[in-house]
């Protein structure tokens, strides 16, 4: 997952809860600028703890998987 893809997912999660960037920032204890940078895929040096706090707020978790050379179903679907 790229930073831009993470940002797209965060926007969708935030909007699904009808939250503004400021409301989310206040709820998880980060700045609105941090939320904005994450959503735009611009913040490559944000701490992992901040990312985890945001994900936990939405009942999500960070998972690792082995990288493969084969495309995922979503990648194949997006090619069409």
Q: Which domains does the chain have, with CATH numbers?
A: 1-80 (1.10.260.40)
Q: Is 55 exposed, middle or buried (0-12, 13-18, 19+ CB in 10 A)?
A: middle
Token readout for 18 is 């009808």
pTM for the full model? Answer: 0.76
What distance, in Å, lies between the first and last C-alpha atoms of the chain? 20
Q: How confident is the model at residue 78 (pLDDT cuts 50, 70, 90)?
A: confident
Token readout for 64 is 């690792």
Q: Alpha carbon of 9 to those of 3, 15, 19, 34, 69: distances in Å?
A: 10, 10, 14, 15, 23
The reported pLDDT for the residue numbered 43 is 67
Q: Note the pLDDT tens digit of each residue in 6-53.
A: 899 999 999 999 999 999 999 999 999 999 999 998 866 788 899 999
């Amino acid at each position: 997952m790229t930073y831009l893809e993470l940002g797209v997912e965060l926007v969708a999660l935030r909007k699904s809860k009808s939250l503004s960037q400021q409301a989310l920032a206040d709820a998880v204890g980060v700045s609105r600028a941090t939320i904005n940078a994450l959503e735009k895929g611009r913040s490559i040096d944000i701490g992992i703890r901040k990312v985890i706090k945001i994900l936990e707020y939405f009942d999500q978790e960070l998972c690792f998987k082995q990288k493969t050379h084969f495309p995922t179903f979503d990648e194949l679907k997006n090619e069409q």
